[in-house]
Structure 1
């Protein structure tokens, strides 16, 4: 009887561990979106990727992040409109400005603005759904700096940057008026 009880307890522990592992994986996949799959591919497996993503969450908790006041949010939106208007005459310059404006907003929110991969890692925790846009925009911007991107490519980069830009400026859920 004791042996059977030990076997049953061991099976229950194993099933519990597997279920907990699966729930944790689903939570990470949901939180990080496409970045989860990117991490799995980059780190060669789910275990290493999930360890990296949990590490990002821990580093993210140490940041002093804050939302932007309404006035500042509107000022940045106005600046974005000017950058878009400039695109017609100087696409390369407008693309550089878009990249800089995204960096400024990141910094104002409290995100580190060091190297691209560091920025991407920090953004992935709260902005995993739009991070792929940022990666694509940055890639095109890098190609444009080397004169290897068409005007249509640069237009696409502006669209990608705008997705992250709007996500960074978003009004916090708790401050949204449900009637608007």
Structure 2
């Protein structure tokens, strides 16, 4: 066999092997990003012309996030935020709209104290997606309801849904475990409860007893309002 034929065969084999390695690495990268970003991966793919472009953007988010000084809260800060949140939930009973706006403000403040830049809503979403992808859609829905309420009056039930979603994100950001890439990465407290024994502080829905009481008060308030309406109409 001529030498030039052997050389061509070797070159072809190297090219094929290189292509196989490249494809394997691309597939590994795709699976890694899917695991890390969860539903945000599919959203990014839908927002781009092709999966490669989406993967480049998600990789850029990772790189930016690695340069941020993300830090856990001190025990004192946790207590302060927990107390603030309890006040917001209590405020919701009588003033739903201001309570939802305050929840959004406190959540942004919490992000800043954890080390997340808060210069713009879209950038907040991108930065949070790296470590908090599983609760990010809750933040989107709640924020959209809050902003939409400023232009079009939302129902109390819509505001209540936003409040519950904000609380899910709040709990995720408050948790120190969400600051690292441990085996519980991206897991919300409500998801983690399935791996633990029954916690006396939580009811069957994964809500704290205090939060359940607040929601009961909201329902009682609605019932009382309806009863008064019936009395005025002679029913």
Q: Is 1:152 paired with 2:152? A: no
Give distance in 1, aligned partners of 2:163 and 2:173.
15
Give distance in 2, aligned partners of 1:159 and 1:22.
37
**Residue 70 of structure 1: CA displacement?**
1.5
Query: What is the TM-score with the length of structure 2 in the denominator?
Result: 0.71
Query: What is the TM-score with the length of structure 1 in the denominator?
Result: 0.91
Q: What's the secondary structure of 1:111's corresponding residue?
A: coil
Matches within 5 A, 1:38-57: 38-57=43-62
Q: Which has the higher contact order (CA 8 A, sep 6+)?
A: 1
Larger CA Rg, structure 1 vs 2: 2
Q: Is 1:167 paired with 2:172? A: yes
Q: Is 1:115 paired with 2:141? A: no
Give distance in 1, aligned partners of 2:50 and 2:169.
27
Unmatched runs of 5 consecutive residues or more in structure 2: 1-5, 181-195, 198-235
**Residue 171 of structure 1: CA displacement?**
2.6
**Residue 24 of structure 1: CA displacement?**
0.5
Distance 1:148 1:45, change over 3 A: farther
* Equivalent in the alignment of 2:89: 84
Give distance in 2, aligned partners of 1:132 and 1:6.
49
Aligned length: 178
- The Cα RMSD (Å) is 2.1
Q: What's the secondary structure of 1:125's corresponding residue?
A: coil
Unmatched runs of 5 consecutive residues or more in structure 1: none
**Residue 74 of structure 1: CA displacement?**
1.8
Give distance in 2, aligned partners of 1:145 and 1:66.
33
Matches within 5 A, 1:88-99: 88-99=93-104
